[in-house]
Amino acid sequence: MLGLFRYHNKAEKDLARYINNVFGFYPHNIALYQLAFTHKSVSANKLNGITVNNERLEYLGDTVLSTIVGEYLFKKFPTKQEGFLTEMRSKIVSRASLNKLSMKLGFDKMVMYAKSHDKHSGFRSIGGNAFEAFTGALFLERGYNFTRKILINHVILMHLDIEEIEKNDVNYKSKLLEWSQKEKHSVEFRHIGTKGEGFDKMYVIQVFIDEKEYGQAVDFSIKGAEQLAAEKTWHAMEEENQESQDN
């Protein structure tokens, strides 16, 4: 089957085999998928003055992926309300979830990135980003229906446990905000600083409840840091409640 397509070198053939093994199809435009696996740290080459990397495909893939997941959840849970569907979609397409998924799919071994950087620290998101870029490439080459079929059959059904996500994956930021509204407390997520720079830049978020300092967290995205800080705050509040009950 590989011989039916025109791949010009070993790198193209290896990528085509990988895509077929994981997703069940051979790409027609292999260059598009090579772009999807090219991190910005190695985007020194330019085409017509434009730096070549997967960021634009990542942007497109993010939109397509959210739409496909949203449609899948809408059909799978016909009686659930908008809030539930939105929360479930957020869990599935979150950066942490996509990073874990990309590891299962072997994306970390396929992405081209600058070897001088540690992909397990500042580059921990390259797999998730590449998965979104891959989705964008697939959409451009084959269209929405084919992309939906591939992602549902080869990703969602094979690698995601929707029931487990529904049951256990807690969005602590949402829980904290819902609690604050119910109990009439003010909650604020303050961006209080950064650590590192460039690809290793991290954001420091501090939670304040009624101007009292609670959980602080650091992550490579503001949203990620907010979730971690919210989780620390939630557990700290549980400990406070337990102590008050014991006394």
Q: Which residues are catalytic?
A: 62, 132
CA dist., res. 139 & res. 120, Å (int): 29
**CA-angle at 144, arms to 141 and 148, nearest 5°:** 110
Q: What share of the chain is helix, strand, coil (3-state, %, to 5)?
A: 65, 15, 25
CA dist., res. 23 & res. 21, Å (int): 6
CA dist., res. 161 & res. 163, Å (int): 6
Reported as half-sphere exposure (CB side, CA atoms, 13 A), residue 41 has a value of: 18
Question: How far is the first Cα of the chain from the last one, in angstroms, to the nearest whole number?
Answer: 72
- Residue pair 124/197 in contact (Cβ under 8 Å)? The answer is no
